[in-house]
């Protein structure tokens, strides 16, 4: 198991350097250009064997961008990396956490559930470029915590419900987590 950072967290150029890139033609609509130009991009991460492809766009550059995102998501689900001991959370992870509001005055009662102290919320859209890296980090820590969201969320300084919500946004990840939980004799997450 390689150490952090997870391959899904690497910059585009470093991740592409770890891949074999192939091209091809795609079928379907698109006219004559589609049958003459090799716009299909195939990526294979050599260290893990994880593959992705894209051919629905008109240019290789656009398809490479789509294939790279798909590769990041597939890597986030399929590849695990060794997590350091103790509290974790990359700079990206910390930048995506919103802290709960502070009390107006010391000793005053909380005004809402957010005012009770503790963890913040995660702010990440599943369509955002950073989502695969966040998902990979969450899954690595979850795996290192025996697939239990409570200790994983403590290490990542977020709530267990926020961690599960992040994973649920990508159904293949949620399915994989529940398969792992069943293998560890734990109940599936809902």
Instruction: Reply yes or no on whether the pLDDT at 114 is more than 80.
Output: no
pLDDT given for residue 26 in this prediction: 73
Residue 77 sits at φ, ψ, to 5 deg, of: -80, -40
Q: Is the pLDDT of residue 170 over 50?
A: yes
Is residue 2 predicted with pLDDT exceeding 70? no
Please tell me the pTM assigned to this model: 0.83
* pLDDT confidence band for 67 (50 / 70 / 90): very high
Q: What is the widest separation between alpha-carbon atoms in the chain?
A: 72
State how far Cα 74 lies from the chain centre.
Answer: 9
pLDDT reading at 105 higher than 70? no
Length of the chain equals 190
Confidence class of residue 43 from pLDDT cuts 50, 70 and 90?
very high
Query: Which of 77-86, 109-118, 136-145 is predicted least confidently?
Result: 109-118
Instruction: Measure the CA–CA gap between 50 and 65, rounded to whole angstroms.
Output: 16
Nearest to 63 by CA among 96, 88, 26: 26
pLDDT score at 88: 85
Mean pLDDT of the chain: 85
Residue 154: exposed, middle, or buried by beta-carbon count in 10 A (0-12, 13-18, 19+)?
middle
How far separated are the first and last CA of the chain, in Å rounded? Answer: 29
pLDDT value of residue 58: 85
- Residue that wins the pLDDT comparison between 115 and 58: 58
Q: What is the pLDDT of residue 112?
A: 35
């Amino acid at each position: 198991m390689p150490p952090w950072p997870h391959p899904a967290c690497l910059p585009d150029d470093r991740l592409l350097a770890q891949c074999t890139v192939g091209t091809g033609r795609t079928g379907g609509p698109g006219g004559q250009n589609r049958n003459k130009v090799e716009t299909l991009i195939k990526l294979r991460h050599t260290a893990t064997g994880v593959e992705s492809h894209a051919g629905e766009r008109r240019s290789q550059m656009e398809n490479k961008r789509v294939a790279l995102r798909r590769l990041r998501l597939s890597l986030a689900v399929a590849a695990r990396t060794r997590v350091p001991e103790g509290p974790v959370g990359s700079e990206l992870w910390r930048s995506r956490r919103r802290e709960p509001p502070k009390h107006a005055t010391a000793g005053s009662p909380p005004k809402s559930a957010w005012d009770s102290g503790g963890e913040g919320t995660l702010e990440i859209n599943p369509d955002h470029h950073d989502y695969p890296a966040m998902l990979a980090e969450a899954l690595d820590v979850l795996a290192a915590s025996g697939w239990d969201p409570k200790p994983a969320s403590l290490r990542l300084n977020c709530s267990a419900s926020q961690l599960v919500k992040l994973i649920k946004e990508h159904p293949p990840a949620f399915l994989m987590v529940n398969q792992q939980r069943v293998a560890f004799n734990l109940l599936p997450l809902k």
